[in-house]
Structure 1
């Protein structure tokens, strides 16, 4: 005997229960993960100028700005360095961070574009947990960031910047770079929740990218900020998660203890991803946009 249907339930109340990654759904979830990552990679490869534009900015900093200050360092020896270093060696991890930062923010633009074009609405209606779909976007962005960072390192080596190249140093640096890429990709996801239209993207990014980059140790060490009397810049740089991302990469390359940097990077990444999942919940941030329709 079939139970009577509740005629008083609102429309859509008889929908399927929330999607879960059960045993039967795991192959489908992995297939979706591969598809999303492959889509982002294919889109990146089709945009032939994207890699060039991603490398122009840090290469200019390395080839022009760093060349003018090549011998600035040597005033003091500070960790993780045990000898005097030229400025291009110091700035290289910060420029790797620049590549990761800009690509993370570029992913935020892509999310807003997909949302306005309706592709993101279509993706988020897939029978999979929304957090899993966002995780797939996160991993795709991190993979692209890592590939661009590796391309920059090769260009930097061709320009004469000497970085540690033993296998252990490369493995440590790769791990730190990957975690930093994940953190900045998660930040991009979180920002895409609050950016409602493409026209608002540039203004919002100016309040994120430049303060994060310039108020960090990407261009100068913390001790120089404190020594110069820029106390407020020094204090902001200390709590800037991008500072800890750059420092983790820098210390990892030289086999030194990065201190709290890994925990700050991982904690910030988890917090940003959790905030993005909350914002894209149908009952909260993105759900409101869905109810208003594409032109709302």
Structure 2
């Protein structure tokens, strides 16, 4: 018997347990970072609460909301903007999570993650899942505070039916932030890019006002709002909070999440993406 035939065969691939251990480690690391950065949690809640308790209270009597799906009756303005504020929490968290990736890349921690023998797409997806999990915790903390101001779904099931929408929108915003982080070389440049992306997406959407009002004032701006992925994330959350499904928004959010994640995986490919540009 030859030496080659006597040698034990090397295992191919990885087991489900190994994939699960990797996912657990990345999620746990993100959770510990979130717990140690309490100001991140506070800032994530202060921003939407200011909009809810100050902006919405000031414009409640000025900006009336007519009966539009999924609402079956007139709703207060602060009730209307709540889904938009939820999406804003997830958008900011997606950008903050990507900011940590830029920091890890500069400090060298990202290289430790990317040289793992596990597939790179799985490592990036695990990082994305970890960031989305943190954003969901922030959203439910916001909903708990809003409940004391009588902002709640028509039934308690709304807190459960909104969960799939939060998962999908959190993955989309996290994938968008991950894609942006692959295009930025220095940590100082990320803040400007965040403002350039966050505020146009937020204001050119249905987060603060119905699209029919925008269409009355500016048809071209209404078109921009309709093709904005943030608009569809807001509507997906809005319908889910009321126990309904907006299938158009569901398709757009799912498609954008897959597109952004695929682009981010390609951008983090050392032969085609970030590493090649850095060496160049």
TM-score, structure 2 normalization: 0.92
CA deviation vs aligned residue, 1:104-159 (integer Å, no higher than 9, x gap): 01111111000000000111001110001001100000000100011111111123
Say whether residues 1:261 and 2:255 are aligned partners.
no
Say whether residues 1:246 and 2:230 are aligned partners.
no
Cα-Cα RMSD: 2.0
More helix by percentage: 2
Q: Provide the secondary structure at the position in 1 that maps to 2:270.
A: coil
- Aligned residue number for residue 11 of structure 1: none
* Distance in 2, Cα, partners of 1:53 & 1:252: 26
Q: Please list every run of 5 or more consecutive structure 1 residues that lacks an aligned counterpart in the other structure.
A: 4-16
Shift of 1:52: 0.6
Q: Please list every run of 5 or more consecutive structure 2 residues that lacks an aligned counterpart in the other structure.
A: 5-9
**What is the 5 A alignment of 1:156-235?**
156-167=146-157, 169-227=158-216, 229-235=217-223
Contact 2:179 2:263 (8 Å CA) reproduced: yes
Shift of 1:49: 1.4
**What is the 5 A alignment of 1:1-296?**
22=13, 24-72=14-62, 74=64, 76-167=66-157, 169-227=158-216, 229-288=217-276, 291=279
* Distance in 2, Cα, partners of 1:93 & 1:48: 24
TM-score, structure 1 normalization: 0.87
Contact 1:63 1:159 (8 Å CA) reproduced: no
Q: Provide the secondary structure at the position in 1 that maps to 2:247.
A: coil
Q: Report how many residues are paired.
A: 274
Shift of 1:263: 0.5
* Distance in 1, Cα, partners of 2:61 & 2:160: 29
